[in-house]
Chain A
Amino acid sequence: MTNCPTLIVTVGLPARGKTYISKKLTRYLNWIGVPTREFNVGQYRRDFVKIYKSFEFFRPDNEEGLRIRRQCASAALNDVRQYLTSGGQVAVFDATNTTRERRDTILQFAEQNGFKVFFVESVCEDPDVIQENIVQVKLGSPDYTNCNSDDAVEDFMKRIKCYENSYETLDEVLDRELSYIKIFDVGQRYLVNRVLDHIQSRIVYYLMNIHITPRSIYLCRHGESELNVKGRIGGDSGLTPRGKEFAKKLSYFIQTQGISDLKVWTSQMKRTIQTAEALNVPYEQWKVLNEIDAGVCEELMYEEIQENYPLEFALRDQDKYRYRYPKGESYEDLVQRLEPVIMELERQENVLVICHQAVMRCLLAYFLDKTAEELPYLKCPLHTVLKLTPVAYGCKVESICLNVEAVDTHREKPENVDVWRLSEEALLTVPAHQ
Chain B
Amino acid sequence: MPRELTQNRIQKIWVPTKDGKPAARRGAGAPHFANPPTVIVMVGLPARGKTYISKKLTRYLNWIGMPTKVFNVGEYRREAVKNYSSYDFFKPDNESAFKIRQQCALAALRDVKSYLKDEKGQVAVFDATNTTRERRDLILKFGNENGFKIFFIESVCDDPNVIASNIMEVKVSCPDYKDCNKTDAMLDFHRRIECYKSSYQPLDPDGYDRELSFIRIIDVGRQFLVNRVQDHIQSKIVYYLMNIHVQPRTIYLCRHGESTDNVQGKLGGDSGLSTRGRQFSMALSQFVKEQELKNLKVWTSQLCRTIQTAEHLGIPYEQWKALNEIDAGVCEDMTYDEVKEKYPEEFSLRDEDKYYYRYPAGESYQDLVQRVEPVIMELERQENVLVICHQAVMRCLLAYFLDKSADEMPYLKCPLHTVLKLTPVAYGCKVESISLNVEAVNTHRDRPEEVKRVPGILQRRNSVTPLTSPESNIKKPRIDDLDEAPIQELPPSVASLALCSPSHLPLTLAGQHWLGKVCLCTILHYLKVVTLLFCQRS
- List A residues at the B interface (Cβ < 8 Å): 172, 188-195, 198, 201, 204-205, 208-209, 236, 238, 244, 247, 268-270, 273-274, 277-278, 280-288, 298, 327, 333, 336, 344, 347
Q: Is the CB of A198 within 8 A of B5?
A: no
Q: Is the CB of B227 within 8 A of A188?
A: yes
Q: Is the CB of B243 within 8 A of A194?
A: no
Contacts of A269 in B (CB 8 A): 14
- Complex CA gap A193/B223 in Å reads 4
Q: Is the CB of A208 within 8 A of B226?
A: yes
**Residues A268 and B227 in contact in the complex (CB < 8 Å), given A198-B381, A208-B235, A327-B332:** no
B460 within 8 A of A: yes
Contacts of B370 in A (CB 8 A): 287-288
Q: Is the CB of B242 within 8 A of A281?
A: no
Query: Which segment of B26-34, B152-160, B275-283, B483-491 sits at the interface?
Result: B26-34
Q: What distance in Å separates the Cβ of B18 from its nearest Cβ neighbour in chain A?
A: 12
Contacts of B270 in A (CB 8 A): 327
Which residue of chain A is the closest to B239 with respect to CB atoms? A205
Which residue of chain B is the closest to A270 with respect to CB atoms? B14
Q: Is the CB of B243 within 8 A of A201?
A: yes
Contacts of A274 in B (CB 8 A): 2, 5, 14
Contacts of B226 in A (CB 8 A): 189-192, 208
Q: Which of A193, A208, A287 has the most CB of B within 10 A?
A: A287
Q: Is the CB of B381 within 8 A of A192?
A: no
Q: Is the CB of A247 within 8 A of B225?
A: no
Contact with A along B1-42 (1 / 0, CB 8 A): 011010100000110100000000111100010000000000
Q: What distance in Å separates the Cβ of A378 from its nearest Cβ neighbour in chain B?
A: 23
Q: What distance in Å separates the Cβ of A356 from its nearest Cβ neighbour in chain B?
A: 14
Contacts of A280 in B (CB 8 A): 26
- Complex CA gap A139/B223 in Å reads 38
Which residue of chain A is the closest to B377 with respect to CB atoms? A201
20 A-B contacts (beta carbon < 8 Å): A172-B223, A189-B225, A190-B224, A192-B223, A192-B224, A194-B223, A195-B242, A198-B378, A205-B235, A208-B226, A208-B239, A269-B14, A280-B26, A282-B25, A284-B32, A287-B367, A287-B462, A288-B462, A298-B361, A327-B270
Q: Is the CB of B238 within 8 A of A191?
A: no
- Complex CA gap A282/B28 in Å reads 7
Contacts of A204 in B (CB 8 A): 242
Contacts of A189 in B (CB 8 A): 205, 225-228
Contacts of B462 in A (CB 8 A): 284-288
B232 within 8 A of A: yes
Q: Is the CB of B26 within 8 A of A282?
A: yes
- Complex CA gap A236/B270 in Å reads 25
B321 within 8 A of A: yes
**Residues A277 and B225 in contact in the complex (CB < 8 Å), given A198-B378, A201-B242, A282-B26:** no
Contacts of B361 in A (CB 8 A): 236, 298
Q: What distance in Å separates the Cβ of A285 from its nearest Cβ neighbour in chain B?
A: 7
- Complex CA gap A2/B361 in Å reads 35
Contacts of A347 in B (CB 8 A): 232, 235
Q: Is the CB of B2 within 8 A of A282?
A: no
State which of A194, A247, A298 has its C-beta within 8 Å of the C-beta of B2.
A247
Q: Is the CB of A277 within 8 A of B381?
A: no
Contacts of A268 in B (CB 8 A): 13-14
Q: Given A205-B242, A268-B14, 9 more contacts at CB 8 Å?
A: A188-B227, A192-B223, A192-B225, A193-B222, A194-B223, A195-B242, A236-B361, A280-B26, A284-B32
Contacts of A190 in B (CB 8 A): 224-226
Q: Is the CB of A277 within 8 A of B5?
A: yes
Contacts of A244 in B (CB 8 A): 2
Contact with A along B434-462 (1 / 0, CB 8 A): 00000000000000000000000000111
Q: Is the CB of A191 within 8 A of B26?
A: no
Contacts of B5 in A (CB 8 A): 238, 270, 273-274, 277
- Complex CA gap A21/B235 in Å reads 19
Which residue of chain B is the closest to A332 with respect to CB atoms? B321
B304 within 8 A of A: no
Q: Is the CB of B27 within 8 A of A277?
A: no
Contact with A along B387-401 (1 / 0, CB 8 A): 000000000000000
9 closest A-B pairs by beta carbon, nearest first, are A282-B27, A277-B2, A278-B2, A190-B226, A192-B224, A273-B14, A189-B227, A193-B223, A205-B239
Contacts of B238 in A (CB 8 A): 208
State which of B16, B27, B235, B321 has its C-beta within 8 Å of the C-beta of A209.
B235
